[in-house]
């Protein structure tokens, strides 16, 4: 396998890391500076990031994992076992498992918020921060997102989403129903139809009824500990960070650009880059620009 492929395209290494009554599934590939990759959702797992982010593996050692209770890290995990604190400490367990003094942390969407939670708790362990299409990091910005989002959907799509949420298939976690819901949910944030279908296909591949219901409950718990708390606001803590940071956002993202700009302005020296004609999945929609911006971050640090 791979005799004619670049050296980084060797078979990924994977396994499990025990973490307090659970086991985190990880997937490692590439060589170079270690980068821990945090997926979004928070109800998804890492597989939707592939294969696009693997293009970074010729320059970086990528360590993906499924967050506790999601994907292949779900066995034996109850939704009530998952907290923001456990999410942060799981990243620390991952770093310790690989014996790394520090790591770069790349977070997509919800993973951006989680990356910043980790950085504020363990700043000495973070060499670089890479935030792709980050989720809001304050209650105020979350409310702004919720206010703006309906304006980005058609009336028909708003009705269809509402109708889906009241169906038995959605309530029972039927994978096909949830995939159809995701197609409408992400429609206003992905310009190219083929990119939308690619995202939905990747998500659907890992859906199971039990997994959808568990992950949905975990998402609700994490929202209750972050966005839905009136005084939740990471921005003041970000002003104390001294970490080379890249904040990438798409001008077509359904998360308002202002949310990402607030993060970039809060972190001293952070670079903000707005990708044109790009939505919420910049690593799929603008892979070469994402790669170039990340390379520039490491060159400049």
Whether pLDDT at 9 is above 70: no
The mean pLDDT of the chain is: 95
In terms of Cα–Cα distance, which of 141, 142, 135 is closest to 115? Answer: 135
pLDDT in tens, 44-103: 999 999 999 999 999 999 999 999 999 999 999 999 999 999 999 999 999 999 999 999
Residue that has been written with the tokens 């309906």 in this structure: 150
Look up residue 236 and give its two tokens. Answer: 């003041």
* Alpha carbons 120 and 141: distance in angstroms, whole number: 19
The Cα-based distances of 191 to 3, 274, 275 in angstroms read: 37, 16, 13
pLDDT in tens, 14-31: 999 999 889 999 999 999
Give the per-residue pLDDT at 21: 83
| Antiparallel, parallel or unpaired: β 60-65 and 13-19 | unpaired
Residue 287, H or E segment: helix 287-300
Residue that has been written with the tokens 């939740």 in this structure: 232
Give the per-residue pLDDT at 38: 98
- Describe the chain by its helix, strand, coil percentages, rounded to 5: 50, 20, 30
**Reduced to 3 states, what is the DSSP secondary structure of residue 147?**
helix
Give the per-residue pLDDT at 131: 98
pLDDT in tens, 124-134: 999 999 999 99
pLDDT in tens, 226-253: 999 999 999 999 999 999 999 999 999 9
pLDDT in tens, 199-215: 999 999 999 999 999 99
Residue 36, H or E segment: strand 33-38
Residue 236, H or E segment: helix 235-238
Residue 27, H or E segment: strand 22-30
The Cα-based distances of 232 to 105, 119, 172, 270 in angstroms read: 22, 16, 31, 22
Give, rounded to a whole angstrom, the gap between the first and last alpha carbons of the chain.
Answer: 36
pTM higher than 0.85: yes
Give the per-residue pLDDT at 11: 82
Whether pLDDT at 259 is above 50: yes
Kindly state the DSSP code that residue 57 receives in the 8-state scheme. G
Report the range of poorest mean pLDDT among 6-20, 46-60, 106-120: 6-20
Give the per-residue pLDDT at 2: 38
Binning pLDDT at 50, 70 and 90, where does residue 10 land? low
* Alpha carbons 116 and 288: distance in angstroms, whole number: 25
């Amino acid at each position: 396998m791979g005799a004619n492929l670049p050296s980084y395209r060797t078979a990924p290494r994977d396994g499990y890391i025990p973490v307090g009554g659970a086991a985190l599934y990880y997937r490692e590939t590439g060589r170079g500076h270690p980068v821990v990759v945090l997926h979004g959702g928070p109800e998804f797992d890492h597989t939707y990031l592939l294969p696009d982010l693997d293009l970074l593996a010729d320059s970086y050692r990528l360590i993906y994992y499924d967050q506790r209770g999601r994907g292949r890290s779900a066995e034996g995990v109850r939704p009530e076992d998952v907290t923001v604190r456990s999410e942060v400490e799981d990243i620390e367990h991952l770093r310790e498992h690989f014996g790394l003094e520090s790591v770069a942390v790349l977070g997509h969407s919800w993973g951006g918020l989680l990356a910043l939670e980790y950085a504020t708790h363990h700043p000495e362990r973070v060499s670089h921060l890479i935030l792709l299409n980050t989720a809001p990091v304050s209650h105020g910005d979350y409310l702004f997102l919720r206010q703006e989002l309906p304006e980005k959907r058609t009336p028909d799509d708003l009705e269809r989403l509402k109708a889906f949420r009241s169906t038995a298939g959605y309530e029972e976690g039927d994978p096909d129903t949830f995939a159809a819901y995701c197609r409408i949910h992400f429609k206003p944030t992905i310009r190219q139809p083929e990119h939308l279908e690619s995202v939905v296909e990747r998500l659907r591949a890992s859906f199971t009824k039990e997994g959808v219901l568990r992950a949905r409950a975990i998402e609700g718990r994490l929202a209750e500990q972050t966005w839905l708390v009136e005084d939740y606001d990471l921005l003041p803590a970000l002003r104390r960070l001294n970490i080379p940071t890249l904040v990438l956002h798409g001008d077509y993202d359904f998360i308002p650009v202002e949310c990402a700009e607030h993060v970039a302005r809060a972190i001293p020296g952070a670079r903000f880059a707005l990708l044109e004609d790009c939505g919420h999945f910049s690593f799929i929609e603008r892979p070469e620009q994402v790669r170039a911006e990340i390379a520039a971050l490491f060159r400049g640090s």
